[in-house]
Amino acid sequence: MTAGPDRGDDRAATGSDVSADTATVAVHGLGYVGLPTAALFANNGHSVYGIDTQPDKLDRLRTDGADFREDDLNDYVDRVLDTEALRLRERPVESDYHLICVPTPFDHDRNVADLSYVRAAAEGIAPKLRPGDTVIVESTVPPGTTANVVGETLERNGDLLRETFNLAFCPETVLPGSILDELRNNDRIVGGIDDEATAAARDLFAGAVDGEIHTAPDAATAEFAKLAQNTHRDANIAIANELAAVARDHGVVPRPAFELANEHPRVDILRPGPGVGGHCLPVDPLYLGQHSDHVDLIERARAVNDGMVDYVRELLEDGLGSLAGTRIAVFGLAYKGNVSDTRNSPAKRFVDQLVETPEMVATDGGEGSVDVRVHDPHVDSADVDLWSGPAALEGADALVFMTDHDEFDDVDPEAVAERMADDVVVDARGLTDESWHDAGLDVRRL
């Protein structure tokens, strides 16, 4: 097929008059963005195909339903699986809309985004693509990927020229811990490779989400905006982390100082912590360096955040004098409070490094490796042995708070002091107050 002189007419003549409200939607990749997204459209009256190349995952979904740590989200997904408004498939099918929700990990060896899953999804969609259909990329990608990589892959592997179908980018916005709420209510950005594509993507999302739909001038701008959001957050956490370390050098406890600073109407210092984890913030800023020589502060912010694990360890070593032969209770393995996710978790890295610490001899003659006891009420499968809170504290020389789970607010400092053999507490998450000092504990706070 060859493209007609008028792109709009070409598409209208070949079927782009499908109403976005009743259109079929195929979601490619049923991870923790794709599956909720498929459920969103299925719950809004669309006939949806959920496509994933892993048959095991589909079987599990069919038999056990969704297993997010958010009950309302599980119900939301299970409902449409039961009614077959969401149907599961291993291979791509024809559909009015195709949403690409596959992972885009960062390839640290080559210093580029690994787009192999995006390419594979586009290769699968291409033969099923009909004139007037719309392909929307949701996976986080370097600017230019939708138009160039996805557009070219679709053209190369199918019969259509890109003038005859719609191609757009609409970034996902799910926040682990409140996926359903953010999926339904957040504003969305859409940017197509031309106006028709932008309009087609906008119409689909406008019918399903309560937030506003903001249209970008093109796909690359939408791609950039997504990366800018997470880069902005990462860099702002880095300034909080650096300020916290500087505050401690000045003998100032960081958080109360930040609260005072934040009284100013244009100041909003974020929370310092042991670093930044999850599948987005530690990775997305790196995508910006792929086609730009001007990335500087962004990379240094990444390094500051990654360096916080070492800083927490320094606080611990300062408190104990030496790690040789010590027992350390670590509270929290997840990358942030109230989630079970340990991807890129600073707590996980901290624990791994402690466990790998070789046997040492302390200046006082004590010796041995570090006995690390990890307690996390949200994490149930990890390649780390997990302990109950009291067992982890029994005879411990130090307690380190690495994750701000709500459960840790209720930890009683008197009970901690009673169980521990020594008195060092490193609080990387701002969970302790004066009562911890009053209980006789030596608290080092970020």
* Cβ atoms of 317 and 360 closer than 8 Å: no
* Cβ atoms of 201 and 176 closer than 8 Å: no
Q: Is 95 in the site for ligand SAJ (CB under 6 A)?
A: no
Minimum CB distance to ligand SAJ smaller for 302 or for 336: 336
Q: How far is the CB of 371 from ligand SAJ (least distance, A)?
A: 26
* Cβ atoms of 273 and 429 closer than 8 Å: yes
Q: Select from 73, 280, 374, 379 the one that contacts ligand SAJ (CB under 6 A).
A: 280
Tell me the H-state helices in 173-325.
179-185, 195-206, 219-249, 254-261, 284-287, 297-320
Q: How far is the CB of 201 from ligand SAJ (least distance, A)?
A: 18
Question: Residues touching ligand SAJ: how many (CB under 6 A)?
Answer: 19
d(CA 328, CA 393): 8
Q: Is 190 in the site for ligand SAJ (CB under 6 A)?
A: no
360 φ/ψ angles, rounded to the nearest 5 degrees: -135, 165
Q: How far is the CB of 210 from ligand SAJ (least distance, A)?
A: 16
Site for ligand SAJ in 382-421 (CB under 6 A): none
Q: Is 172 in the site for ligand SAJ (CB under 6 A)?
A: yes
Angstrom distances, CA of residue 428 to CA of 43, 50, 402, 446:
41, 40, 6, 5
d(CA 188, CA 214): 6
Site for ligand SAJ in 203-262 (CB under 6 A): 229-230, 233, 237
**Cα 246 vs. chain centroid, distance in angstroms?**
28
Q: Is 445 in the site for ligand SAJ (CB under 6 A)?
A: no
- List the beta bridge partners of residue 331: 375, 401
Q: Is 175 in the site for ligand SAJ (CB under 6 A)?
A: yes
Burial class (CB in 10 A: 0-12, 13-18, 19+), 228: middle
Q: Is 132 in the site for ligand SAJ (CB under 6 A)?
A: no
Q: Is 432 in the site for ligand SAJ (CB under 6 A)?
A: no
Q: Select from 69, 119, 128, 271 the one that contacts ligand SAJ (CB under 6 A).
A: 271
Number of CB atoms found within 10 A of residue 212's CB: 10
Cite the active site residues: 226, 280
Q: Is 276 in the site for ligand SAJ (CB under 6 A)?
A: yes
* Span near ligand SAJ by CB under 6 A; candidates 2-10, 126-134, 211-219, 278-286: 278-286
Burial class (CB in 10 A: 0-12, 13-18, 19+), 385: exposed
Q: How far is the CB of 94 from ligand SAJ (least distance, A)?
A: 29
- How many residues are present in the chain? 446
d(CA 80, CA 87): 8
Q: Is 273 in the site for ligand SAJ (CB under 6 A)?
A: yes
The 333-372 site mask, x for binding ligand SAJ (CB under 6 A), equals: --xx------------------------------------
Binding site for ligand SAJ (CB under 6 A): 172-176, 229-230, 233, 237, 270-271, 273, 276-278, 280-281, 335-336
